[in-house]
Chains A and B, each alone.
Chain A
Amino acid sequence: MRRFILCLTVLGSFAWVSGTQAAVLAEDRADALYHRYDGGGVTIDGPSLLVRKKVAKSVSVSANYYVDSISSASIDVVTTASPYSEKRTEMSVGADYLYDSTIFSAGYKNSDESDYTANSAYFGISQDLFGALTNISMGYSRGWDDVGRNGDSAFSEDVERHGYRLGISQIVTRNLLLGMTLETITDEGFLNNPYRSVRYLDSESEKGYSYQSEIYPKTRTSTAVSVRGRYRLPYRAAVHTEYRYFDDTWGVGAHTAELGYTQPVWGRWMLDLSYRFYTQTAADFYSDLFSRENAQNYMARDKELSDFDSYTLGVGLSYEILPDGWRFFDKGNLSLKYNYIYFDYDNFRDLRDDGDAPGQEPLYNFSANVLQFFFSVWF
């Protein structure tokens, strides 16, 4: 569904920041990952394959193939539509060029499913300063999406997206790294889900409410600022923290905070523990129950635009399977990660039980189990 695409497009636009070390091309590496998300009536799983390889002294290229196999009976689907299955396939390519202490990056990504096609391209530049104590990076991305609606061949809309990103990372001491990122994204086009509905009070309906299609603004601009740090402990372990402030022109404001700990154990094992907290305010045009039909120019009942909190508990374990290398492999890792996520909504109600009066239904919450298993080799 569109929701998955839109978000990955934004994220993918800036994929170059993920693996970039300052003025050093990323290591030659291949990863094969299996992912599975299970929560709120939705199951999504599939593979992700990522390969990065230097093709010349100063050039590194990468490619990623990613699949989401979706089976959805979410609360939205159960209350207003029918369960469905779908597959989304995403492919991306990128290249980094190192010149002196500068890295130029560029890439392209395509994501495709039955009712949504997303494309994005990016360009970025990263520069070391002050004896490589400081690294600044900046980038621009452009996305262009085609929105369809299954069962309605006449429906065709589009979205255009521009993203601007500025980042800085700093070596502070022998044990401390800090980073900061500013990112602004603007969207223009058909930004709501063509299948999703809002509900409004309707005394003539048996349930006391009826549905009509969501109507979103045609533009959105968001700004996110984040700071992060990583500190090496006296023994071989590290703690990290990250905070993000988010704000957009739809009235959504959010805070994200994360704390994590990494500890090598039992020689070839690595343990990761993390806790993440997220809270957001609702969009100005969000309501769980509107007072009447066409109550406002813009209306949404997308729970992702509601008031809610969530937290994540994460644990990861990696095992170094090739500490001395093998043939042309320098080393290899097997990794398993598990995240438990809990979502608690403050103004999105659970309509699966018909016994309550409109607006008096229990508030919705759900938990999700997220599993990743991946194999990595360096060569």
Chain B
Amino acid sequence: MSVCLAVAGLSGCSNIEPWVKPYERDRLADPIMFFDRDPVSSAYTHHVYEAREGARGGLGSAGGGCGCN
């Protein structure tokens, strides 16, 4: 419930004028700009490291941010 309220509250800020217009995001829409271009590969790579290191979590992209489509 609190999560939904937080999201709803933040949505109210969505009328802020974006300084990078949607039509200016063509470069960001290129696959070379994806944080995670091949999920099947990055999942395996993270697994290789996490099996051999003491650290865990925190890596990988958290959402995109492109908003290209």
Q: CB within 8 Å of B: which residues of A?
A: 3-4, 7-8, 10-12, 14-15, 17-24, 31, 33, 35, 37, 48, 50, 64, 66, 101-102, 125-138, 163, 165-175, 177, 179-185, 222, 224-226, 228, 230, 232, 236-238, 240, 242, 244, 246, 248, 250, 252, 254, 256, 262, 264, 270, 278, 280, 283, 304-305, 310, 335, 337, 339, 341, 343, 370, 372, 374, 376
Chain B: how many interface residues by the 8 Å CB criterion?
Answer: 54
| Contact residue among A23, A181, A246, A335 (Cβ-Cβ distance under 8 Å from B55) | A246
Contact between chains at A228 and B67 (CB < 8 Å): no
Point out the residues of chain A lying under 8 angstroms from B69, CB to CB.
21, 24
The residues of B with any CB-CB pair to A shorter than 8 Å are 3, 7, 10-11, 13-14, 16-20, 22, 24-25, 27-28, 30, 32-36, 38-69
A-B pair number, CB within 8 angstroms: 250
Task: Give bound CA distance, A294 to B19, whole Å.
Answer: 63
Q: Which residues of B contact A102 (CB under 8 A)?
A: 7
Evaluate contact between A170 and B65: CB separation under 8 angstroms: yes
Which listed residue, B13, B36, B38, touches A374 by the CB 8 Å rule?
B38
In contact, A136 and B63 (Cβ under 8 angstroms):
yes
Interface of chain A: mostly helix, strand, loop or mixed: strand
Q: Which residues of chain B come closer than 8 Å to A101, judged between CB atoms?
A: 11, 14
Q: In the complex, what residues of A have CB within 8 A of residue B57's CB?
A: 10-11, 14, 163, 165, 183-185, 222, 224, 246
A133 to chain B, nearest CB (A): 5
Given A132-B67, A171-B25, A339-B45, A225:B58 Cβ within 8 A: yes
Chain B residues within an 8 Å CB radius of A22: 63-67
A135 touches B55 (CB 8 A): no
Establish whether residues A7 and B50, one from each chain, have CB atoms under 8 Å apart when the complex forms. yes
Q: How far is the CB of B6 from chain A (nearest CB, A)?
A: 8
Give the chain B neighbours of A50 by CB distance below 8 A.
Answer: 39-40, 43
